[in-house]
Amino acid sequence: MMVSIFALFTSMFWFPRPEMVSASVVDFLEFEKEYLYGEWNLGKQLLTLTIPISLIALGFAFWKRSLIMGIAVVVLMATGKMVWSIQNAGESGKSILIPAIIGLLICCGLIFYGFKRLEKK
């Protein structure tokens, strides 16, 4: 889990800069930047708490060695991000759907693979 988090936080350094970026992606990134730099009211603070709560739930699922619970938490996290993006950023929020779904499928596949490797030991 720690390797995944580290890879996520450092991914901007090991992926090359894209040659062309669509306008909707630029708009969405601008929206996220404005959201993060904007006023931090109670609602935004409570919403931000879903991040550590989700990571704690994910850690608990893996501590219990529950494949279904682990995948369910990852799916809920990704779905929540996609819904939030579309609901708050509008049309530009849809620009993350394909990358988010591909990332979710890869993540679920790696979790499944990891659990199957552990079962063999």
Domain presence at residue 5: no
Cβ atoms of 92 and 31 within 8 Å: the answer is: yes
As to burial, measured by CB atoms within 10 angstroms (0-12 exposed, 13-18 middle, 19+ buried), residue 107 is: middle
Mean pLDDT of 30-52: 95
Domain presence at residue 7: no
What pLDDT shows up at residue 1?
61
pLDDT at 41 over 80: yes
Query: Look-up: residue for tokens 């929540």?
Result: 80
Residue 92: CB atoms within 10 Å: 21
Residue 75: CB atoms within 10 Å: 13
pLDDT in tens, 18-36: 888 899 999 999 999 999 9
Domain presence at residue 111: yes
Please state, rounded to an integer, the average pLDDT across all residues of the chain: 90
Domain presence at residue 65: yes
Domain presence at residue 96: yes
Any alpha helices (H) in 1-96, and if so which ranges?
2-14, 23-37, 42-48, 50-63, 67-89
Give the number of domains in the chain: 1
Q: pTM, whole model, 2 decimals?
A: 0.81
Domain presence at residue 101: yes
Domain presence at residue 56: yes
Dihedral sign (CA 98, 17, 89, 110): positive
pLDDT at 16 over 90: no
Structural domain boundaries enclosing 94: 49-121
